[in-house]
């Protein structure tokens, strides 16, 4: 057998091996791709079969999440689910009493409002979308500048939202709920979000009495809304310094509260869904700022002696 003959047979063997194996591998890869796609496609959206009121909203979401997590290899949370369906946040924000009044719609009891309508579609994020949202949460942080009365939400260095707020008063007062004289100033520092109160009760911290209705800025009386309160831990301590809505936005841009950070109702919903547990927060007291026109501004020292 000549050298050329040997080369011919070797080339033939290589071609046979190549033809036999590579198409099979390609077919296997295609099958894996199809299987992955079918797995993602099998995650069906939830179509509401009934109207959901705000008073049942959190329980309904919990039922969706619990059912999904019991059947799949990855889990989702309320914040993941709602951020994947941003229309829900918009709907919640639009239940703000003053937004409703601007549409000539007086709402006495916000809890009775329908927030998820029959026939609405709630999409379920796949595993990749869930991971992307979780990564976004890790890179999101909150910034509060007390004398500026501003609350900002950032993703990395990009500001996503800016809201007006009210902060604690520059005084000390006896609060029956704490049974002591309390400094009412909002405490600066760095920390994180540690808890939520999804169906808060309302108490007057001075008297300790619970209340169920509120007088609005237009002098109309309504029941208190169900909007989550957000608990912070600052400098490693839980001071009871909450982020929560006020039913009187006329008090925003003022030192008015008993130490908590107050927002309007619509903004409170947005903050809640952009601030899952462990979201970092910085509360600062910076008097020297740069305004929107790029000018240096010195703010009033609201906690100055």
| Residues labelled as active-site residues | 244, 260
Which helix (H) or strand (E) is 104 found in, with range? none
DSSP structural state of residue 152:
E
Q: How far is CA 293 from CA 149, 211, 296, in A?
A: 18, 43, 9
Number of alpha helices (DSSP H) and beta strands (DSSP E) in the chain: 7, 22
Q: Provide the phi-psi class of 150: left if phi over 0, else alpha when psi is between -120 and 50, else beta.
A: beta
Both tokens of 117, joined, read 């309508």
- The span from the CA of 255 to the CA of 302, in Å, is 8
- The span from the CA of 143 to the CA of 133, in Å, is 20
Kind of pairing between the strands at 229-234 and 167-168: unpaired
3-state secondary structure 172-189: EEEECCCCEEEECCCCCE
CA angle 250, 253, 256 (to 5 degrees): 75
Torsion of CA 109, 111, 112, 116, to 10 degrees: 140
Residues forming a β-bridge with 151: 144, 163
- The span from the CA of 103 to the CA of 30, in Å, is 54
């Amino acid at each position: 057998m000549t050298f050329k003959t040997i080369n011919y047979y070797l080339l033939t063997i290589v071609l046979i091996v190549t033809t036999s194996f590579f198409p099979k591998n390609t077919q296997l890869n295609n099958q894996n791709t199809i299987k992955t796609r079918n797995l993602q496609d099998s995650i069906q959206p939830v179509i509401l079969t009934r109207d959901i009121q705000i008073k049942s909203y959190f329980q309904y979401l919990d039922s969706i999440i619990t059912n999904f997590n019991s059947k799949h290899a990855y889990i989702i949370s309320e914040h993941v689910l709602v951020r994947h369906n941003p229309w829900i946040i918009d709907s919640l924000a639009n239940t703000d009493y003053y937004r409703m009044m601007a549409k000539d719609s007086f709402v006495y009891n916000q809890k009775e409002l329908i927030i998820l309508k029959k026939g609405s579609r709630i999409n379920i994020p796949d595993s990749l979308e869930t991971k992307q949202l979780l990564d976004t949460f890790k890179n999101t942080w909150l910034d509060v500048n007390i004398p500026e009365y501003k609350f900002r939400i950032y993703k990395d260095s990009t500001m996503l939202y800016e809201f007006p707020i009210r902060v604690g008063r520059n005084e000390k007062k006896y609060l029956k709920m704490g049974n002591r004289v309390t400094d009412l100033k909002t405490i600066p520092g760095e920390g994180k979000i540690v808890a939520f109160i999804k169906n808060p009760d309302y108490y007057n911290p001075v008297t300790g009495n619970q209340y169920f209705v509120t007088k609005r800025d237009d002098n109309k009386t309504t029941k208190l809304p169900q909007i989550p309160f957000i608990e912070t831990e600052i400098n490693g301590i839980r001071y009871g310094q909450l982020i929560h809505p006020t039913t009187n936005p006329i008090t925003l841009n003022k030192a008015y509260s008993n130490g908590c950070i107050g927002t309007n109702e619509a903004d409170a919903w947005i903050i809640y869904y952009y601030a899952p547990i462990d979201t970092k927060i910085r509360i600062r007291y910076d008097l020297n700022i740069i305004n929107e026109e790029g000018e240096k501004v010195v703010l009033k020292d609201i906690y100055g002696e």
